C-alpha cells in the first residue's frame, strides 16, 4: 500500500541524535561517524561489539549492525551460510549474515520508523541489548565451528549446552 505523501505532514528529527543522547547518559563509548550514523562500543562476554546505527532518511529506516571479528576461510563459506541459516531460525529480532567479499559474519536488524516521530529510549535500549545478547550467545558456536568441528549443527549444539540444576 502506498501512502499519499501530499496529504501527510510530519516533522521528524534525526533519530541518531536521540541515540547519541541515550548512550551518552549511560556513559557508553561511542563515535558519531556521520550525521546519520553512530557507532557504540560495548564489551560482551566473549568479545567487544561495535554496534552501528545508520539512519536512511529517504525511507525512514534505521539499520543496526554489529560486525563480528570472525574471518571465515573461503573453503568454509558454504557451511557457515548453512550454520547462519540454522541460527536465524531461532532468532526473535534481527538476523546473522555473511559478507562474501569480506569473508566475515555480521548481525543486523532494521527498524522502519514511518508514521513515528521518534525512536523511543526503550527501543534503543532493547536493540543494543538484544544484539549484544544474540552475538554473545552464538559467538562460541562460530568459534567451535572454526576451530574444532566444521559441522554447523554440532558447533551450535556444543555451544548452547545449558546446565540444569544447581551445584
Residue 54 resides in a domain: yes
Residue 1 resides in a domain: no
Question: How many domains, the chain?
Answer: 1
Residue 136 resides in a domain: yes
Q: What DSSP string runs through the chain? A: ----GGG-------HHHHHHHHHHHTT-EEEEEETTEEEEEEE-SSSEEEEEEEEETTTTEEEEEEEEEEE--GGGHHHHHHHHHHHHTT-SS-EEEEETTTTEEEEEEEEE-TT-S---HHHHHHHHHHHHHHHHHHHHHHHHHHHT---HHHHHHHHT----S--
Residue 3 resides in a domain: no
Residue 5 resides in a domain: no
Range of the domain at 150: 10-159
Residue 166 resides in a domain: no
pLDDT digit string (tens) for the chain, length 167 residues: 455 555 454 455 789 999 999 999 989 999 999 999 999 999 989 899 999 999 998 888 999 999 998 899 999 999 999 999 999 999 988 999 999 889 999 999 999 887 776 778 888 888 899 999 999 999 999 999 999 988 999 999 998 875 444 55
pTM here is 0.84
Amino acid at each position: 500500500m502506498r501512502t499519499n505523501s501530499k496529504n501527510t505532514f510530519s516533522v521528524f528529527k534525526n533519530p541518531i541524535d536521540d541515540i547519541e543522547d541515550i548512550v551518552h547518559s549511560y556513559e557508553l563509548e561511542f563515535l558519531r561517524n556521520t550525521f546519520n550514523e553512530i557507532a557504540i562500543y560495548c564489551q560482551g562476554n566473549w568479545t567487544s561489539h561495535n554496534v552501528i546505527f545508520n539512519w536512511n532518511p529517504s525511507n525512514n529506516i534505521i539499520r543496526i549492525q554489529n560486525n563480528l571479528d570472525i574471518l571465515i576461510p573461503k573453503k568454509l563459506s558454504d557451511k557457515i551460510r548453512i550454520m547462519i541459516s540454522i541460527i536465524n531460525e531461532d532468532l526473535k529480532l534481527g538476523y546473522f549474515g555473511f559478507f562474501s567479499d569480506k569473508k566475515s559474519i555480521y548481525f543486523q536488524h532494521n527498524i522502519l520508523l514511518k508514521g513515528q516521530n521518534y525512536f523511543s529510549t526503550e527501543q534503543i535500549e532493547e536493540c543494543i541489548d538484544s544484539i549484544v545478547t544474540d552475538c554473545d550467545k552464538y559467538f562460541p558456536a562460530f568459534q567451535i565451528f572454526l576451530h574444532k568441528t566444521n559441522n554447523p549443527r554440532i558447533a551450535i549444539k556444543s555451544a548452547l549446552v545449558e546446565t540444569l540444576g544447581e551445584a
